[in-house]
Amino acid sequence: MNATLPLRHFLLALAVVAVWGTNFVVIKLGLAHLPPLLFATLRFAFALVPLVFVLPRPAVPWSQLAAYGVLIGAGQFGLLFVAMHGHISPGLASLVIQVQVFFTIGLAMRGGGQKLQPFQLAALALSVAGIAVIAAHVDASTTVLGLGLILVAAASWAGGNEVVRRAGRVNALAYVVWASMFSVPPLLAMSLLLEGPQAIAQGLAQADAVTWAAVLWQSIGNTMFGYAAWGWLLARHPAATVAPMALLVPVFGMAASAAWLGEPLPAWKIVAALLVMAGLAVNLFWPRWRGLLRGGKATA
């Protein structure tokens, strides 16, 4: 496995994080006509079909697929779409949800009986400071409810990460596709219960070409391309080489939201972004930095 990314592989990783980052703008476009829970339902329905008939089921228990499907479907994306339906801007949503890293660390340590290292506490403090800056500037475009929903969505994402971690080495795309079988029913049930048949029918009737393109982009861009390409890269390079590219997701998210949707970028948003991303960077890079500072080999 290579420790550095060749140019073509770097460009592929850059394309993946660009898709994942700009997708928050695409979500906002889809929400113009579709109720959020219906939108999330369609996202996973199109991720499930037709790939479920092409990709073999991963060799993991059904209970794992069910847990992952509910956590990622109803938990992460269901809440994310609801939050973005008028409760938080796309740029901030792309930033705040990255704190799933710290929820993931907490769950992994709880299961392994490990303790937080000092650098992890410092990283967490930086990111929490960034979230606090956002919380201090809630307004009509970013509400306390929206911020809270995104944080719960991040926790759900972390729960899904813990489930898939226990699965071991599996085909990431196939895992997501088959788990979508368990994402669709709860999302559809919540859509029927909370949004209602009338809103669903109205949303489907009003959906235009842009709306359906947004739905398909969730499945084709994020799932089929994103997970397949990311998994391909991880199979050829150390995770420590590929993972840092994910730090660019909120950069693309905030830049795309500002460029395409006119989301303002006042100083406090930039400060919040720098704090959150500094926390993520310290958590990711500090073990290697420490090794270099001590004159030894950097740890991957």
> pLDDT tens digits for 154-188?
999 989 888 887 887 888 889 999 999 999 999 99
| Cβ atoms of 154 and 147 closer than 8 Å | no
| Cβ atoms of 46 and 100 closer than 8 Å | no
The reported pLDDT for the residue numbered 300 is 45
Alpha-carbon span 94 to 155, nearest angstrom: 14
| Cβ atoms of 55 and 173 closer than 8 Å | yes
Alpha-carbon span 123 to 108, nearest angstrom: 16
The reported pLDDT for the residue numbered 144 is 92
The reported pLDDT for the residue numbered 141 is 80
| Cβ atoms of 245 and 229 closer than 8 Å | no
| Cβ atoms of 104 and 243 closer than 8 Å | no
Is the pLDDT at 36 greater than 90? The verdict is yes
The reported pLDDT for the residue numbered 60 is 93
The reported pLDDT for the residue numbered 96 is 93
Is the pLDDT at 234 greater than 80? The verdict is no
Is the pLDDT at 296 greater than 60? The verdict is no
The reported pLDDT for the residue numbered 26 is 95
Is the pLDDT at 101 greater than 60? The verdict is yes
Confidence of residue 293 (pLDDT cuts 50, 70, 90): low
17 alpha-carbon distance from chain centroid: 11
Confidence of residue 138 (pLDDT cuts 50, 70, 90): confident
Is the pLDDT at 79 greater than 70? The verdict is yes
More confident residue, 158 or 193: 193
Q: What burial class does residue 136 get, using C-beta atoms within 10 Å of its C-beta: 0-12 exposed, 13-18 middle, 19+ buried?
A: exposed
Q: pLDDT tens-digit profile of 197-216?
A: 999 999 999 999 999 999 99
Q: Quote the pTM value.
A: 0.88
For the chain, give percent helix, strand, coil, nearest 5: 80, 0, 20
* Count of residues in the chain: 300
Phi-psi region at 143: left, alpha or beta (left = phi > 0; alpha = psi -120 to 50)? beta
Is the pLDDT at 295 greater than 90? The verdict is no
Percent of the chain exceeding pLDDT 90 equals 62
192 contact partners, CB below 8 Å, separation of at least 6: 200
Is the pLDDT at 153 greater than 60? The verdict is yes
Alpha-carbon span 290 to 138, nearest angstrom: 37
Is the pLDDT at 112 greater than 70? The verdict is no
